[in-house]
Amino acid sequence: MTGSGKTSEEVAREELAPALERLRNGHDVLPFMTELIGSSEAEFVPMPESMADVFAGNGDFRAPGRGSDPIWLEIVDEAGQLFQLIVARPDADGELWVVAPRR
């Protein structure tokens, strides 16, 4: 919990809300892995640890700065399949978050 009684995840979601709104206003659809999702159906969620580990092990990956704008990633796997993600790193928790379909 933070001093305001909110969890760091709640504070991070609040911090990411303006960035998500800018994405929604600028795009009808947003990428998530191999699909496109309606921007109104998208939200930032904490990146699963297993996914973050894959990125951490890739020397080409540069995490977004804490509190900076989200970055758009295009990743090609060994089979040549393209994956796209929008990744952010809120200052509130310093963890990686990804745009995904709303739960």
As a whole number of angstroms, the distance between CA 103 and CA 101 comes to 6
Other Cβ atoms within 10 Å of 36 Cβ, number: 14
Residue with tokens 């310093």: 94
Per-residue pLDDT averaged across 72-100, rounded?
93
Q: With left for phi above 0 and alpha for psi between -120 and 50, is residue 46 left, alpha or beta?
A: beta
pLDDT score, position 22: 97
Domain segments of the chain as ranges: 8-101
Where is average pLDDT lowest: 16-30, 47-61, 82-96? 47-61
Predicted confidence band of residue 101 (pLDDT cuts 50, 70, 90): very high
Mean pLDDT of 28-55: 94
Q: Assess contact for 70 and 18: CB atoms under 8 A.
A: no
* Residue 13 confidence (pLDDT) above 90: yes
**Tokens in use for 56?**
């951490």
